[in-house]
Amino acid sequence: MIQDREEEFDSIFQDAKVEEPDFLGVESLRSIRDSSMEDAILLRYNTDTSYLERYASDQEFRDNHRKRWKELRRWVADAKSETPTDALRKYFPDGTIGKSRSEAEEIIWNLDSTPLFPLESQSLPKSILVQNLTGIIRTLVDRTDGIQLIRENRNFVIISALVIGLLSIFFAIFISGVVVQKIKRIIKSAEDVGHGNLLVEFEYGGNDEFGKLTVALNQMVNGLREREKIKGILGSMIDPVVVSEAMKDLQALKRGSEKNITAFFSDIASFSAISEKLSSPELADLLNEYLSAMTVILKRNDGVLDKYIGDAIVGIFNSPIDVHDHTYKAVVASIDMQSKLVELKKEWLQKNKYIPEAREMSFRIGLNTGLAKVGFMGTDDLASYTMMGDTVNLAARLEAAGKDYGVHILVTDTVEKEIRGRIFTRKLDVVRVKGKNEPVTLYEVIAKMGEESESVRNSTEYYEKGLEEYLKRNWKGAIELFQKSIKERKDADSKDKSSLILISRCESYLKEAPPSDWDGVYTRTNK
């Protein structure tokens, strides 16, 4: 209806060809409702008397005002928000919308529904005039009594600020006189604690905040004393992870627990013969360099150092803190250690360090995964975090068994299941270790998947097929496959001692067949 009315006005004015002097008179008929709507809704920041002249002479200014009015009407008609939107506010840089949408709707309805030239007494000009007179009265009141009230309040605020400022200064002087001495005593005691004196007792400061502070500081000093006692107990420990966990809850570690861990054992082959040919300083240097390099790799893969036993390293994965994929990390650490020893030996050869036997040394690693008892073992004065159980014992025996099979890293089938598809392994044998009835399948860890050589891959394939024939009692077929495995490893860095062991067994069984209940499991008579 509004749009039709505006179009009708435009049509009449265009046909009437209004001259410029009469433009404002005619335009007032068209825009009286919209301009009155804006005056009623908008709270202006200032009064600009040039608006009317600009509206008459500037088409762009006039179009902008018409657009403002149209956006106001759209906001009311959409009825989506009681408060003006950010987009609507941009149209009114000279004021702010002081009405809600519901209030604006009532104003617009009254303006649009009141006739412009009625016969009765109620008319649009009269209604607008009444509203404007009310606005003038409010302004006059605001500029007289309102300004006087503001001045009086301003004087009161100034006087109040001065009084508050003086009181603050007086109170600050009082505080500095009463409290500073307490603060100085607390600082002096804190400095003594900082210098290592844990026998300090902070003077009780009363029931106020200083009293609470001194109580908290005394509790802190008591806590530091307890930590020092714990550090004394942990003096025999090496691994920082164990120390950190012990500082959190020593009693929990003392109680111990049963966890699924990966046990790590390593030992240098024929180290006694090497050590006998070295002087004491050379032996210490060699061990320190070797053990340091290997321990760094152990720690880098989230392993925890249990202990050193001469040249042997004992490590734990997944205790005392949980380690995701700990079995795989233990295997990766083992592979990296073997690679690191190759680097060390090259460096020793270039620098002509140590004796030739040391520059050619090798070491074996045994790994096993399973449940074990872990925790502090020892006395209050000397204790160490360690592991115990069948899982641990088997890992230690695997390290020793590696010598028989001529391999560097020997693991159980429980380890192989965790690393399958990520680590290249060779199934070596099925054995029954001394003191145990359950058979264990042994695997050699060779390399990370994809890093093995073609000859090693082919040799492994022949060997595992030979092991299958061996378990089927096909001794001749097994020997033939084991011999092929040996030939394929011609470019490997070590002889295939495992194939030689299985060939020897097959030849023995050819001479004297095993009993009918033979299950293919080889019983080891030594640890």
DSSP secondary structure of 58-85 = -HHHHHHHHHHHHHHHHHHHH---SS--
Amino acid 243: pLDDT? 59
Which residues have a Cβ under 8 Å from the Cβ of 318 and sit 6 or more positions away? Answer: 259, 260, 261, 262, 326
When mean pLDDT is compared over 81-90, 170-179, 396-405, 441-450, the highest value belongs to 441-450
Chain-wide mean pLDDT for the chain? 82
Tokens read off for 98 = 């002081």
- 422 token code pair: 């990520």
140 compared with 35, residue with greater pLDDT: 35
317-335 per-position pLDDT tens digit: 998 888 899 999 999 999 9
Summarize the confidence of residues 91-114 as an average pLDDT: 86
The structure's pTM equals 0.57
Q: At 484, which amino acid appears?
A: K
Classify burial at 39, counting beta carbons within 10 Å of its beta carbon; exposed 0-12, middle 13-18, buried 19 or more: middle
Cβ neighbours of residue 364 under 8 Å, at least 6 residues apart? 266, 267, 269, 399, 400, 402, 403, 407, 408, 409, 410
Please classify residue 451 by burial: count the beta carbons closer than 10 Å to its beta carbon, then call 0-12 exposed, 13-18 middle and 19+ buried: exposed
Residue 45: other Cβ atoms inside 10 A? 11
Give the start-to-end residue ranges of the domains of the chain.
Answer: 2-113, 257-419
The dihedral region occupied by 520, where left means phi > 0, alpha psi between -120 and 50, and beta the remainder, is left
Which of 172-176, 194-198, 331-335 shows the lowest mean pLDDT across its residues?
A: 194-198
Q: What is the 3-state secondary structure (H, E, C) of 406-465?
A: CCCEEEEHHHHHHHCCCEEEEEEEEEECCCCCCCEEEEEEEEECCCCCHHHHHHHHHHHH
List the one residue out of 427, 437, 256, 418 whose CA is nearest residue 326: 418
Per-residue pLDDT tens digits for 333-363: 999 999 999 999 999 999 998 999 999 999 9
Query: For the domain with range 257-419, which CATH number is right: 3.90.870.10, 3.30.565.60, 3.30.2270.10, 3.30.70.1230?
Result: 3.30.70.1230
At residue 13, the 3 state secondary structure works out as helix
Q: Highest mean pLDDT: which of 194-203, 222-231, 390-399? A: 390-399
Pairing assessment for the beta strands 383-388 and 522-523 based on DSSP bridges: unpaired
Give the Å distances, CA to CA, from 389 to 231, 331, 440: 28, 20, 16
CB 334 within 8 A of CB 367: yes
